[in-house]
């Protein structure tokens, strides 16, 4: 899936988290949303279309996020969209 050494992937992920977490986060859902965004942009960003779709499906499965079904309101942290969208396109 990745052709970079694991240490570089972890380094990139931690730098992304450091950039996103500019203040203390008290809510678990918000912290999880920051982690998932860092994961997508640092590790998943280098993948091509087929790899991105598989990566997205695996992260959604592992994160066990609740599905957001009301299109009239934006989804909150800890929730994923119902209509086939990728998490990487969602920002806080």
Q: Which pLDDT belongs to residue 91?
A: 45
- Contact at 8 Å (CB) between 33 and 20? no
Structural domain contains residue 69: yes
Count of domains for the chain: 1
Q: What pLDDT, in 10s, does the model give residues 12-60?
A: 888 988 988 888 888 888 888 888 888 888 888 778 888 888 888 888 8
75 vs 50, more confident: 50
Whole-number pLDDT of residue 77: 67
pTM of the model: 0.67
From 1-5, 8-12, 58-62, the region with the lowest mean pLDDT: 1-5
Q: Is residue 1 part of a domain?
A: no
Range of the domain at 34: 6-89
Q: Are 82 and 65 in contact (CB under 8 A)?
A: no
Helix, strand, coil tally for the chain in percent (to 5): 55, 5, 40
């Amino acid at each position: 899936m990745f052709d970079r050494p694991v240490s570089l992937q972890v380094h990139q992920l931690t730098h992304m988290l450091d950039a996103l977490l500019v203040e203390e986060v008290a809510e678990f859902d918000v912290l999880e949303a920051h982690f998932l965004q860092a994961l997508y942009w640092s590790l998943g960003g280098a993948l091509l279309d087929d790899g991105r779709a598989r990566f997205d499906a695996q992260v959604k499965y592992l994160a066990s996020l609740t599905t957001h079904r009301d299109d009239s309101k934006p989804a909150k942290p800890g929730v994923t969209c119902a209509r086939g969208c990728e998490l990487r396109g969602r920002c806080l």
